[in-house]
Structures are given as structure tokens and as C-alpha cells.
Amino acid sequence: MSKYDIIVLGSGPGGYVTAIRASQLGFKVAIVEKESLGGVCLNWGCIPTKALLKSAQVFEYLNHAEDYGLTVKGADKDFNAVVKRSRNVADGMSKGVQFLMKKNKIEVIEGFGKVKPGKKVEVDGKEYSADHIIIATGARSRELPSLPQDGEKVIGYRKAMTLEKQPGKMIIVGSGAIGVEFAYFYNAMGTEVTIVEYMPNIVPVEDEEVSKQLERSFKKSGMKIMTSSEVTKVDTSGKGVKATVKTSKGEEVLEADILLSAVGIKSNIENIGLEDVGIAIDRDKVLVNKYYQTNIPGYYAIGDITSGQALAHVASAEGILCVEKIAGHHVEPIDYGNVPGCTYCSPEIASVGLTEKQAKEQGYDIKVGKFPFSASGKASASGAKDGFVKVIFDAKYGEWLGCHMIGAGVTDMIAEAVLGRKLETTGHEVLKTIHPHPTMSEAVMEAVADAYDEVIHL
């Protein structure tokens, strides 16, 4: 039986980052993967979707070339070539992870892994042992009873990335990050898109003003948005799909070629041996402490199968903290209140901390500042005036409670707010930090200035 210091089950951005950090710390490491290195994120999530979105953005540029004083004749898209480019990007990233495994002397064990009692892992009938076993098996598309996926007319995100033919009409159920990113992609490529959202606002976890701005932008681009609505049944017996939608005004039947179910994710915790080992779970999540230790010594869990935000960067951070704790380092538990969230539709969304509503509900006396990109020189020059930056501060101490952005490139700007909050900066300190001009990022400074009644360009 092969013996290791650490075995990691799953090679997504939680698993492979954990394995590399463990190797850096001097541990003998193996990683188990049943499919492709990099997991869902690199192969079927974060990375290939961004490749699709970039193609859509370039296509939009070509279609609006006249706005920039340019003439482009005969611009068209090759849907299959767009999908192929996305797959090639994903394949390249997965090969990059293979290289990193070799570089860091991590043994890759291919196959379906299960944890077993006695600090063992079984992979397709063969057993391996380790002092520490870290479970990072991720999640998959969640299926609702009213929306069973057949992989043809009712699909999940994986199929949405590899359709052989572009649909003329598409219904997207759910408007979280997955839903709105695919909504933007297909709409930009020329598909007629309808979004159905159960909550009163699309992207419901975001600040209300951000949600309303995205809805305006999406409607302007030709999408139909149905909020406070629920798909109660689907009929796939005909050529396409018919969805019965319950709304505040009654029932409505929508017809489309494809329905994409984007109603969240389901943890991959079935059939991996948790019950045999006695690892405690609660409502689809593995129970862990702040160092990701389960109730059974020597077994750990990170990423989407635990209760933190189901985000790639969260899984990576959890895995690094977990192995550094195993190595005896002094580690600081993750502050889940300071985790940035990013959505890569157009306009992009990025946020961290409390929304205005949450800050008020928690009893803060707040200062709120907002700066629209329509007043930004860089945004105007770029032809990207949709959106704004919104900041929320505690009026008493100046603590930066939240930052919410919607606009072009804001996912690359949010780190300023995350770092500022980590360092416990105040509104006045941000205000007195010189931001370069002209940039999109100076909208952060201007929004802070607005909160303190010192805004110049508005």
C-alpha cells in the first residue's frame, strides 16, 4: 500500500492549490482526480465561460464599431468555433495544472476516490494511506424536481458550454452568476433570451441598486426579465421546450429551443465514503471547524462541500490555510465577511462586504457614496458608461462596510476594497490615497468622496 503524508481528493482550485502548498511545505502528496485536472473551474466553469464571454464581447465590439468611428463589414460569428476556442483554453489550463503537479512532485492518482476508515483512500479498488486526507470534491449543477435535466432540451451549465448548435430562443431559470453570465453570452451571440428568477431581483445576493442596474442593462440589450416568477413544469414532448411560469399576474407559458437550469449547485458528497468513516454532514455540507478539520481526526474538507461561499478563490484559500495548520504554522481563520464576489456578465459585477440593506439591518449609522461611470472620463472614452461604484461606511468610525460595483472591468477593481477592509482602512484614508487619472478605478475614490460630501466630478 502506497503511503503519503497528505492525500487530496479532488483537483479543482481547492484541491490542486492545496496539494501544491502541501508539497511546498515538505509533505509527500498525492491527488486523486476522476476526470480532468483543474476540476469544474478550469474545465467546465470559471475559465471556459470567460473564454465564451470574451468572444461575445469581441462580437459586440464588431457590431458597434461605428460607435468608435470604425467601419466593419460582414462581421459574423461561427458558434462552433467560439465553443472550440473555449474548450482549447480550458484544455490549456488543465495541461498547466499537470505541469504544476510534476513540478511539485505530486503523484496524480486517476480514478474515483473514496475515503475509508483508518486514514485510507480507495481509488477504483486500490488502497492508499496518508496521515492526513483532505476532501475537495466540489459541486455540480443542482436539479429541481420541476426541472429535470435531459441534457438536450433542459440542460445544465456543462451542456450550455458545448451546444452543437446555437439556439434561436433560450429560457434561463435562475439569475445567479451562472445564469446571468450565460444570459449575456447567448444574447450577445444573437439568441433570444428570457430570464426567470424566483426572487424579486436578479442577482439577488447583490446590493439592490446593482440588481436594478443590471436589469436595466439587460433589458436594453433585448432580454426579457421575469422576477418573482417560478417555473412549475416543463414540457419537452414537442420540437422545443414549453415552460409553465407562475407569476404574480398568473400563469404564462414560454416556448424556447433550450431551457438552461441555473438554480444553484449540489455538493459532491455522495458515494465517497463519508458515512463509512463517520464524517458528520448537515444539509448537503461536511461539517468542519475553522481549520477545516472534520469530526474524525486526520480527515479534512474544503471548498464547495463546506459551508463557506462556493467560489474558487475561497476553496484555494481554505486549502492553503488547512495545510499550513497541519504543518504547525500560526494561521488566521478566514474572514468570510471579506470575500469578494465577481460576476462576469456585461456589465460586470463585483462586491465585498455588507449591502446597504444589510448594514442598516445590523444597526449601523452609515454614509453611502455612489459614483456613476457616466461621469468617468475613462468610461466615456471607452464607450462603457453603464454602471457605478457604491461604497458604504460606518458614520461613527469610518469603517469600510461594503463596496459594490457594476460596470466594465470592475472584477479587476474590487481587490482595492478587499485589501482596504483587510487593513481596516477608513473612508478618509481612501479619500486621501491618490488614484490615477483617467482610470475606471478612480471611481472608487470619487464614490468615497461622495459619501463624505467632497465629490469633485459629480
Q: Does 180 carry a binding-site annotation?
A: yes
What is the rounded CA–CA span in Å between residue 256 and residue 243? 8
Q: Which of 312, 178, 167 is nearest to 240 (CA)?
A: 167
For residue 324, give the C-alpha cell: 499550513
Q: Is 176 annotated as a binding residue?
A: yes
Any binding-site annotation on 45?
no
Alpha helices, DSSP H, located in 3-45: 15-24, 39-44
Torsion-angle region of 453 (φ positive above 0: left; ψ -120 to 50: alpha; else: beta): left
Residue 371 burial (CB < 10 Å; 0-12/13-18/19+)?
buried
- Cell numbers given for 3: 503511503
Name residue 275's amino acid: E
Q: Which residues are known catalytic residues?
A: 437
279 is annotated as contributing to ligand binding: no
For residue 6, the surrounding DSSP H or E stretch is strand 2-9
447 is in an annotated binding site: no
**According to the annotation, is 181 in a ligand binding site?**
yes
Any known ligand binding at 26?
no
* 328 annotated to a ligand binding site: no
Nearest of 281, 335, 345 to residue 309 by alpha carbon: 335
Task: Check whether 238 is labelled as a binding-site residue.
Answer: no
Q: Is 222 annotated as a binding residue?
A: no
| Residue 259 near residue 241 (C-beta atoms within 8 A) | yes
Beta strands in 136-203 (DSSP E): 139-141, 154-155, 169-173, 192-196
Q: Is 174 a known ligand-binding residue?
A: yes
304 is in an annotated binding site: yes
Annotated ligand binding at 394? The verdict is: no
- Name the maximum alpha-carbon separation found in the chain: 69
* Known binding-site positions: 50, 113, 174-181, 197, 264, 304
* Known binding-site positions for NAD(+): 174-181, 197, 264
* Known binding-site positions for FAD: 50, 113, 304
